[in-house]
Amino acid sequence: MDISLTDRFREKVKNASKILFFTGAGISAESGIPTFRGKDGIWNKLKPEELANFNAFLKNPDMVWNWYQHRRSIIHESQPNAGHIAIREFEKVFNEVTVVTQNVDNLHRRAGSKVVYELHGNIEKNYCIQCKKRYDDPSLAFIDSVPKCSECGGLIRPDVVWFGEMLPQDVFRISENAADLCDICFIVGTSSVVYPAAYIPITAKSSGAFLVEINIASTEISDQVDQSYFGKSGEILPDLLKAIMDERRN
Ligand code: BV8
Ligand code: ZN
């Protein structure tokens, strides 16, 4: 795919040192992990409020637990794709590359990215809703009905942020800080409708960063970005990396 850089983008690339990737479910689509709101989105059948929500879990713990088991089983079969790998390779071109992801699938870490902030948690981790004891043992992922805490008998839940729950404040703060300081903010595979995560690129823009969106369709943030690339992130990111490396070499 021939990727061209506008003069303004070329200028930014030449002088940039801090890069931020803000990613969503779309970057994992080519790894076989369904997105949330796309045409085959997992939330087409059941509403997010019915699943990614603490009351839904209390009302029907086995149903919610099984939904996460289903997603974990898909994730266990999946591999990081060329998009995740290209983002890791950007670390060889710029001094600072930060990944701020809404995804809970751990694929950026598995691709080898060094600095990854998970705003919505990690589906491979769990904890007791009563005593908060951690249950991060992967074998838990193969239990069909919601497990009970060995300490207090409480229900064990996935360590992800549900609707109506606060994001991990330390992770959100450090991500906001990275957005404040970055020279270029890539927005990859997200519909940018979930807050406060979707404030990250807005923070970057207000601090003067150049915004680049990579998506198969336009989104809520498309009218605020400086450069859009429409297509699959697994195809665009490797070619964009190459074009940027050539630019910085010249
Ligand atoms: C909170 C859980 C309050 C884990 C998720 C303003 C401020 C604060 C809150 C709100 C606000 N307005 C509304 C709210 C409430 C709510 C919210 O944002 N609702 C929205 C839907 C209207 N936010 C919350 O409830 C948050 N909590 O604010 O608490 C609070 C405050 C103080 C004290 C107490 C409480 C919590 C939000 C987190 C919810 N949890 N997930 C899980 O099960 O996964 S959200 C869920 O959506 C995922 O985390 C996902 O990452 C996230 C965003 O979705 P996307 O990643 O963008 O995925 P989507 O399918 O939408 O889009 C995919 C995109 O990829 C598309 O654009 C598609 O075109 C593109 N694509 C597809 N294929 C490709 C591709 N692009 C490139 N290449 C491809 N191949
Ligand atoms: Zn417990």
Q: How far apart are CA 186 and CA 209, in angstroms?
A: 10
What's the pLDDT at 38?
A: 67
Q: How far apart are CA 21 and CA 97, in angstroms?
A: 8
**Residue 172 CA to ligand 1 centre (angstroms):** 14
- CATH code, domain with 62: 3.30.1600.10
**Residue 118 CA to ligand 2 centre (angstroms):** 24
**Residue 148 CA to ligand 2 centre (angstroms):** 8
Q: How far apart are CA 155 and CA 54, in angstroms?
A: 12
**Same domain for 69 and 176:** no
**Same domain for 156 and 197:** no
**Same domain for 45 and 109:** no
Average pLDDT, the chain: 93
Position in ligand 1 atom list of the atom nearest CA 37: 60
**Same domain for 228 and 112:** yes
Model confidence at 4: pLDDT above 90: no
Total domain count for the chain? 2
The pick from 35, 105, 160, 193 for probing ligand 1's pocket by mutation, whose C-beta has the most ligand atoms within 8 angstroms, reads 35
What's the pLDDT at 139?
A: 74
**Same domain for 65 and 44:** yes
Residue 40 pLDDT class (50, 70, 90 cuts): low
**Same domain for 115 and 3:** yes
**Same domain for 227 and 174:** yes
**Same domain for 87 and 21:** yes
Residue 190 near ligand 1, beta carbon < 6 Å? yes
Average pLDDT over residues 9-13: 95
**Same domain for 135 and 53:** yes
Q: What domain range includes position 177?
A: 1-33+80-120+167-250
Helices and strands counted in the chain (H then E):
9, 8
Q: How far apart are CA 68 and CA 66, in angstroms?
A: 5
Residue 214 pLDDT class (50, 70, 90 cuts): very high
Q: How far apart are CA 65 and CA 58, in angstroms?
A: 10
Q: How far apart are CA 44 and CA 53, in angstroms?
A: 16
Residue 3 pLDDT class (50, 70, 90 cuts): confident
Beta strand pairing call for 96-101 and 18-23: parallel
Do 11 and 184 meet the contact criterion of CB atoms below 8 Å apart? Answer: no
Do 139 and 76 meet the contact criterion of CB atoms below 8 Å apart? Answer: no
**Same domain for 244 and 204:** yes
pLDDT by residue (tens digit) across 20-36?
999 999 999 999 998 87
Do 80 and 74 meet the contact criterion of CB atoms below 8 Å apart? Answer: no
What's the pLDDT at 31?
A: 97
Torsional sign, CA 141, 233, 118, 62: negative
What's the pLDDT at 159?
A: 96
Residue 106 near ligand 1, beta carbon < 6 Å? no
Name which residue sits closest to atom 5 of ligand 1, judged by CA.
Answer: 162
What's the pLDDT at 47?
A: 74
Which residue among the candidates 70, 76, 108, 120 is catalytic per the annotation?
120
- CATH code, domain with 110: 3.40.50.1220
**Same domain for 204 and 220:** yes
What's the pLDDT at 104?
A: 97
pLDDT by residue (tens digit) across 98-150?
999 999 999 999 999 999 999 999 999 999 999 999 999 877 767 788 999 99
SS3 159: strand
Residue 28 near ligand 1, beta carbon < 6 Å? no
**Same domain for 215 and 151:** no
What's the pLDDT at 61?
A: 94
Model confidence at 10: pLDDT above 90: yes
pLDDT by residue (tens digit) across 41-98?
665 667 766 789 999 999 999 989 988 998 999 999 999 999 999 999 999 999 999 9
Average pLDDT over residues 158-166: 96
Name which residue sits closest to atom 36 of ligand 1, judged by CA.
Answer: 163
Residue 241 pLDDT class (50, 70, 90 cuts): very high
Model confidence at 17: pLDDT above 90: yes
Catalytic residue status for 120: yes
Q: Which of 112, 143, 160 is the last residue of a domain?
A: 160
Ligand nearest to the CA of 54: 1
Share of the chain above pLDDT 70, in %: 95
